[in-house]
Amino acid sequence: MPQALIPRHPVPALNVPLVGGGRFVLGAAPGEKFDLIVFYRGLHCPLCAKYLLELERLSSDFASRGVKVLAVSSDTEERGAEMAQKVQAKGLAFAYGLSLKSARQWGLYISTSRGKTSIGIDEPALFSEPGVFIVRPDGTLYYGAVQTMPFARPGFQDLLGAIDFANAKDYPARGEYTGEI
C-alpha cells in the first residue's frame, strides 16, 4: 500500500534517465523556486498525452517562475521517447525507466495491465498511476497529489496560480501535522 509523503519533509530520491541523454537527479540542479515532478502512466494512456500536451504548452510559464519541470514514467526508453515526440516536447524534460519500487516510495498507486488501451497500445504488465509533486530546492515536499485513476488530475493553470500565490505570500507547505489527533 502506498504511503503518503509529508509536506515539509524530504521526498524520496529520484534518479532517472532522460529522453535524449543524461539523467535527472532530484536536487542536483533544482529549479530556483521549485521542481514540478509529473508522474504519468505511460505511452499507452491517451489522457496522459493530453495532460502532457498542456504541460508542454505551459512549460515556459513554469520556467519563468523558477520552476523546473519533469514528466516521468516507468516506460522504456523507446516508449518515453515516443511520448515526448507525441507532445512535441521542447520545454518539458521527459524521463523514463522509473522503477515501480521508486514509484511506490513516492506514494503512487500501481496498476496491472488490461491489455490494449482505446488507442491500441498495450499497457505494461505493471505501471504506476499519476502523481504530481512540487518539491522545494531543499528536497522537501511542498505539494503532492496522487490518483488511483487517470482522470481528474490537478490543472496546470491552477498550479501556476498556486505557485504565484505561494511565492508572493511566502505561503508554507500545508498538511505537515503528524501528531496525535
- What percent of the chain lies above the pLDDT cut of 90? 90
The model carries a pTM of 0.96
Give me the pLDDT at residue 121, please: 84
pLDDT in tens, 121-164: 888 899 999 999 999 999 999 999 999 999 999 999 999 999 99
Kindly state the DSSP code that residue 101 receives in the 8-state scheme.
H
Going by their DSSP bridges, the two strands 67-72 and 34-39 should be labelled as parallel
Give me the pLDDT at residue 2, please: 66
Collapsing DSSP to helix, strand or coil, 51 comes out as helix
Distance of CA 86 to the CA centre of its chain: 17
Give me the pLDDT at residue 18, please: 98
pLDDT in tens, 75-127: 999 999 999 999 999 999 999 999 999 999 999 999 999 888 888 888 889 99
Q: Where are the alpha helices (DSSP H) in 40-109?
A: 46-64, 77-86, 100-105
User: What phi and psi, each to the nearest 5 degrees, are found at residue 125?
Assistant: -55, -45
Domain 15-166 has CATH 3.40.30.10: yes
**Residues 103, 119: Cα–Cα separation, whole Å:** 25
Over its C-alpha atoms, the chain yields an Rg (Å, rounded) of: 16
pLDDT in tens, 29-53: 999 999 999 999 999 999 999 999 9
Give me the pLDDT at residue 117, please: 80
